[in-house]
């Protein structure tokens, strides 16, 4: 009776179909209980008409329950019509059979009650499994109520058939089940605010706890997904976030398959909530926004709540909730949605700040790299130039002063050596520039990488280094000979530069599938794992490279990668600090065969 009064009070305040159905539902239960109480107190047998009315009301109960299923999820029209017909037949049969209810009629009534209740229970269990958060718990409570009610009716229906001495137990059990079911229904259909908050609390708490770490997720979409999940769990509805795109002036949503949907501000509920900067609730979106009726129907959306996401003056986007039916939402959900939107704003705004800081850092890093490069380039160019200039001037002065003196061979050799070094550096600088503009690789011809590696190795094997080639057969492809030579030369020079004297450098050349493979292996200082991803970038040098010991502009590997990629190949490195590095090159070979 108390539950009935409470629900009726709600229905008067908010006369919606769901509230009316709830009132009717608890009303029928209250009536049945009240009537049976009066009959018991009055003593004797109740008048047949009262029994018939009681039976009719009792039969209406599962039908109203079916309407409630429809209020919260969806019941097919055919099912509703069949249930209405079954109810009419039952009521007519009951009144027609007066004054005495024959057993088939009792069985029909009990059967009807049982079948419809089971149908409702299954529908609620199914929607509980698809729901989340507070809605899931509500649906679970309603499912439990339906199961208890079905069992109750079974017990009540069987009571007259039970032996006389155990009838009292059956009656007590029936009443207990009835009361439990009513409480479960009440908790599910119209959870008191305090219970609703208690159900929402764990979801909300976990959402808030995770919020702090969200801005650091890899992409904005990852953040959006997490916020949507948290918002959905907290409200027990489906949640979507649309982000305002400054450049296109549209709200961007991401579907489940990450497909992008752009929305004009002012259109749909989300666009209107964004434009008006206030929450918008629709208990009947098909009526309120008929243009999208088909979409709402196909996605089973019967209620929408949209609320703007705003950080101070900055309009960041919109948070939109949708549910199959309006009663899924509670009045307090508008407030909750606002709270979640504020939290989303904090997270998204933090993300913007982090992105900004990252960009600034990247710019600073780029500027620093450029500065480092300029300083290294200046140093590297000036060092050989010092010898060339000073030595040449000295030779000139000597030639003027003592024209007959023998040539200073050592001085001339120094000039030649340092001029070549200078030429190499200038070449690297020009190559790096050319690589970024027009490309390096020119005319191709058949090149045997095994022979090329041997030539380079022979040239490189001097008193302080050992170079070996491992190749069992020629590996021929169509390459720019000069550039591939430069590539191998660079890799071998690097290997030698970063290895202790007299440790061997190994070049392996082989063919694998349709690729020519080269591996240059050293036992040098290696490259720290943290530097590996950037090692082929321009100006990049490993952090364990002593700038003072290993002069270099950090262009060598950048040029190598350029040469390899322009040939359609790949270059990568395996390395361990202190053990050495192996640079791998894979070049396509198919073109070479054709040339041959």
Sole window of 140-148, 223-231, 350-358, 390-398 interacting with other proteins (rule: CB under 8 A):
390-398
Q: How far is the CB of 393 from other proteins (least distance, A)?
A: 4
Give the DSSP H/E element, type plus range, for residue 307. strand 303-311
Q: Which of 122, 283, 334, 385 binds other proteins (CB under 8 A)?
A: 385
Among 48, 111, 411, 504, contact with other proteins (rule: CB under 8 A): 411
Q: For residue 242, give the H/E element and its range.
A: strand 238-245
What burial class does residue 41 get, using C-beta atoms within 10 Å of its C-beta: 0-12 exposed, 13-18 middle, 19+ buried?
exposed
Rank residues 243 and 377 by Cβ distance to other proteins and give the closer one: 377
> Which strands make up the sheet holding 515-521, listed edge to edge?
466-470, 504-512, 515-521, 580-588, 570-576
Least separation in angstroms between residue 489's CB and other proteins is 21
| CA atoms of 116 and 63, how far apart (whole Å) | 7
- Residue 387 beta carbon to other proteins: minimum distance, rounded to whole angstroms: 4
Any contact of residue 391 with other proteins (CB under 8 A)? Answer: yes
**DSSP per-residue codes, 476-530:** EEEE-HHHHHHHHHHHHHHHHHTS-TT-EEEEEEEEETTEEEEEEE--SS---GG
Residue closer to other proteins, measured from CB, 275 or 408: 408
- Residue with Cβ nearer other proteins (418 or 531): 418
Interaction of residue 9 with other proteins, rule CB under 8 A:
no
Q: How many chain residues touch other proteins (CB under 8 A)?
A: 27
Residue 477 CB neighbours (<10 A)? 26
Q: Which stretch binds other proteins (CB under 8 A): 188-196, 327-335, 386-394, 552-560?
A: 386-394
CB nearer to other proteins: give 287 or 548.
548
| Angle, CA of 117, 122 and 127, to the nearest 5° | 125
Which residue, 39 or 381, is less far from other proteins as judged by CB? 381
Is residue 400 part of the contact set for other proteins (CB under 8 A)?
Answer: no
Give how far the C-alpha of residue 91 lies from the chain's centroid of Cα atoms, to the nearest Å. Answer: 55
Q: Are 373 and 365 in contact (CB under 8 A)?
A: no
**Which of 301, 290, 304, 293 is CA-nearest to residue 324?**
301
Stretch that binds other proteins, among 103-111, 360-368, 411-419, 501-509 (CB under 8 A): 411-419
Residue whose CB is less far from other proteins, 387 or 523: 387
Is residue 419 a contact residue for other proteins (CB under 8 A)?
A: no
Strand, helix or coil for residue 384: helix
Among candidate residues 349, 259, 351, the one with its CA nearest the CA of residue 310: 349
CB closer to other proteins, 41 vs 410? 410
The three state secondary structure string of 161-198 is HCCHHHHHHHHHHHHHHHHHHHHHHHHHHCCCHHHHHH
Nearest distance from C-beta of residue 462 to other proteins, angstroms: 15
Instruction: Give whichever of 245 and 386 is closer to other proteins, judged by the CB atom.
Output: 386
DSSP state string for 107-161: HHHHHHHHHHHHHHHHHHHHHHHH--HHHHHHHHHHHHHHHHHHHHHHHHHHGGG
Q: How far is the CB of 576 from other proteins (least distance, A)?
A: 23
- In angstroms, give the least distance from the CB of 573 to other proteins: 24
List CB contacts of 400: < 8 A, sequence separation 6 or more: none
Closest CA to 451 of 433, 476, 421: 476
Residues belonging to the chain: 596
Instruction: Write b or e for each residue in 229-252: b if 16 or more Cβ atoms lie within 10 A of its Cβ, otherwise e.
Output: ebbbbbbbbbbbbbbbeeeeebbb
Task: Assess contact for 411 and 391: CB atoms under 8 A.
Answer: yes
CB of 366 to other proteins, least distance (A): 20
**Taking the complex as a whole, how short is the minimal distance between the CB of residue 401 and other proteins, in angstroms?**
10
Closer of 384 and 524 to other proteins (Cβ): 384
Q: Which helix (H) or strand (E) holds 204?
A: helix 193-211
Spatial separation of the C-alpha atoms in residues 5 and 394, rounded to whole Å: 113
Query: Which is nearer to other proteins, 271 or 384 (by Cβ)?
Result: 384
Which of 213, 358, 375, 544 lies at the binding interface for other proteins (CB under 8 A)?
A: 375
Judged by CB under 8 A, which of 394, 439, 459, 544 binds other proteins?
A: 394
- Out of 130, 277, 386, 433, the only residue in the binding site for other proteins (CB under 8 A) is 386
Q: Which of residues 532-561 bind other proteins (CB under 8 A)?
A: 546-549
Of 39-47, 119-127, 189-197, 409-417, the window that binds other proteins (rule: CB under 8 A) is 409-417
> Judged by CB under 8 A, which of 74, 81, 363, 382 binds other proteins?
382
Nearer to other proteins, 410 or 530 (CB): 410
125 or 395, CB closer to other proteins? 395
Q: Residue 189: CB partners within 8 Å, gap ≥ 6?
A: 7, 18, 22, 25, 68, 138, 142, 327
Among 129, 363, 417, 459, binds other proteins (CB under 8 A): 417
Task: Return the number of the residue (295 or 413) whose C-beta is nearest other proteins.
Answer: 413
Rule CB under 8 A: which of 177-216 touch other proteins? Answer: none
Query: Per CB under 8 A, which of residues 256..315 are in contact with other proteins?
Result: none
Is the sign of the CA dihedral 409, 412, 416, 417 positive or negative?
A: positive
Judged by CB under 8 A, which of 39, 115, 122, 388 binds other proteins? 388
Residue 331 interacts with other proteins (CB under 8 A)?
no
Cβ-based nearer residue to other proteins, 341 or 555 = 555
Using rule CB under 8 A, residue 132 touches other proteins? no
State whether the Cα torsion 431-433-434-435 is positive or negative.
positive
Using rule CB under 8 A, residue 383 touches other proteins:
yes
C-alpha of 588 from chain center? 37
Choices 188-196, 271-279, 387-395, 517-525 (CB under 8 A): range interacting with other proteins: 387-395
List interacting residues with other proteins (CB under 8 A): 375, 378-379, 382-391, 393-394, 397-398, 408, 410-411, 414, 417-418, 546-549
């Amino acid at each position: 009776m108390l539950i009935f009064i409470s629900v009726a009070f709600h229905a008067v305040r908010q006369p919606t179909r769901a509230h009316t159905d709830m009132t009717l539902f608890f009303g029928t239960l209250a009536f049945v209980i009240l009537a049976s109480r009066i009959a018991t107190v009055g003593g004797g047998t109740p008048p047949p008409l009262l029994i018939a009315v009681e039976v009719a009301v009792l039969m209406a109960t599962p039908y109203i329950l079916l309407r409630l299923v429809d209020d919260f999820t969806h019941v097919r029209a055919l099912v509703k019509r069949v249930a209405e017909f079954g109810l009419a037949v039952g009521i007519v049969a009951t009144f027609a059979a007066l004054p005495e209810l024959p057993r088939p009629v009792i069985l029909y009534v009990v059967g009807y009650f049982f079948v419809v209740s089971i149908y409702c229970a299954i529908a609620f269990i199914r929607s509980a499994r698809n729901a989340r958060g507070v809605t899931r718990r509500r649906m679970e409570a309603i499912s439990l109520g339906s199961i208890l009610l079905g069992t109750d009716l079974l017990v009540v229906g069987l009571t007259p058939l039970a032996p006389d001495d155990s009838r009292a137990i059956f009656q007590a059990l029936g009443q207990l089940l009835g009361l439990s079911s009513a409480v479960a229904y009440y908790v599910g259909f119209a959870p008191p605010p305090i219970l609703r908050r208690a159900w929402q609390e764990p979801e909300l708490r976990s959402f808030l706890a995770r919020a702090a770490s969200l801005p650091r997720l890899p992409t904005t979409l990852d953040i959006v997904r997490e916020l949507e999940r948290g918002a959905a769990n907290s409200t027990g509805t489906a949640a979507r976030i649309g982000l305002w795109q400054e450049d296109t002036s549209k709200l961007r949503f991401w579907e489940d398959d990450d497909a992008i949907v752009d929305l004009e501000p002012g259109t749909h509920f989300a666009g209107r909530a964004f434009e008006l900067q206030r929450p918008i609730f629709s208990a009947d979106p098909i009526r309120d926004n008929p243009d999208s009726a088909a979409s709402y129907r196909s996605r089973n959306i019967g209620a929408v709540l949209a609320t703007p996401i705003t950080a101070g003056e900055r309009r960041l986007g919109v948070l939109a909730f949708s549910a199959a039916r309006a009663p899924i939402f509670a009045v307090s959900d508008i407030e909750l949605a606002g709270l979640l939107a504020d939290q989303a704003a904090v997270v998204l705004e933090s993300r913007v700040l982090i992105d900004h800081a990252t960009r600034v850092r990247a710019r600073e890093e780029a500027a620093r790299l450029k500065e480092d490069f300029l300083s290294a380039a200046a140093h590297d160019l000036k060092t050989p130039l010092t010898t060339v200039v000073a030595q040449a001037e000295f030779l000139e002065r000597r030639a003027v002063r003592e024209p007959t003196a023998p040539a200073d061979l050592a001085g001339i050799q120094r000039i030649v050596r340092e001029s070549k070094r200078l030429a190499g550096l200038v070449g690297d600088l020009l190559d790096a520039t050319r690589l970024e503009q027009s490309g390096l690789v020119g005319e191709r011809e058949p090149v045997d990488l095994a022979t090329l590696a041997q030539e380079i190795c022979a040239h490189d094997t001097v008193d302080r280094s050992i170079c070996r080639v491992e190749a069992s057969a020629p590996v021929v492809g169509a390459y720019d000979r000069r550039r591939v030579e430069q590539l191998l030369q660079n890799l071998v020079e690097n290997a030698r530069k970063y290895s202790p004297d007299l440790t061997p450098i190994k070049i392996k050349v082989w063919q694998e599938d349709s690729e020519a493979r080269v591996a240059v292996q050293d036992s040098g200082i290696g490259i720290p794992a943290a530097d590996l991803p950037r090692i082929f970038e321009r100006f990049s040098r490993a952090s364990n490279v002593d700038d003072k010991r290993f002069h270099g502009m950090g262009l060598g590997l950048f040029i190598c990668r350029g040469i390899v990629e322009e040939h359609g190949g790949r270059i990568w490195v395996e390395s361990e600090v202190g053990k050495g590095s192996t640079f791998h090159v894979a070049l396509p070979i198919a073109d070479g065969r054709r040339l041959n």
